Amino acid sequence: GEDQVKIWRRSFDVQPPALEPGDERDPHVQEMFRDVPKEDLPYTECLKDTIARAWPYFEAEIKPQMEAGKRVLIAAHGNSLRALVMQFEKLTPEEILEVNIPTGVPCAYTFDKDWNVVDKHYIGDPATIEAKINAVANQGKAKK
């Protein structure tokens, strides 16, 4: 039902059912992942797992560039962005469950010297952004 799908899609540490090896969605058999070590390709993943991959990359590659004064654009899959948002905003697992990031809408963060968020805002028409947030929130709901 919708509640279980929401848990799988949005929760912090509940993994959805794993793909079967050879499933058409299995990254092990997809050409785009041919150069990724097979042991790094999961059959299932939750936000906790995504954070374990995305946050070290942010700290090693992106954060130093920002600290050097560069403006950095991050374009990523929604769950990777949710992983960063959870860390940036120091959200709890319960709070991140309700975060819906609108697809294709730029979001600007400003941090203080201690990496606390001092400003966050989406860039674009507010009504369009709200509609896109609602569209993401409604993904996985039963069609009526």
Among 3.40.50.1980, 3.40.50.1240, 3.40.50.720, 3.90.76.10, what is the CATH number of 2-97?
3.40.50.1240
Can you give the residue ranges of every domain in the chain?
2-97
The answer to whether the beta carbons of residues 15 and 42 sit under 8 Å apart is no
Tell me how far apart the alpha carbons of residues 60 and 56 are, in angstroms, rounded to a whole number. 6
Q: Per-residue pLDDT averaged across 23-38, rounded?
A: 94
- The model's pLDDT over 58-93, given as tens digits with 9 standing for 90+, comes to 999 999 999 999 999 999 998 999 999 999 999 999
pTM higher than the cut 0.95: no
- The model's pLDDT over 3-30, given as tens digits with 9 standing for 90+, comes to 787 777 777 898 999 999 999 999 999 9
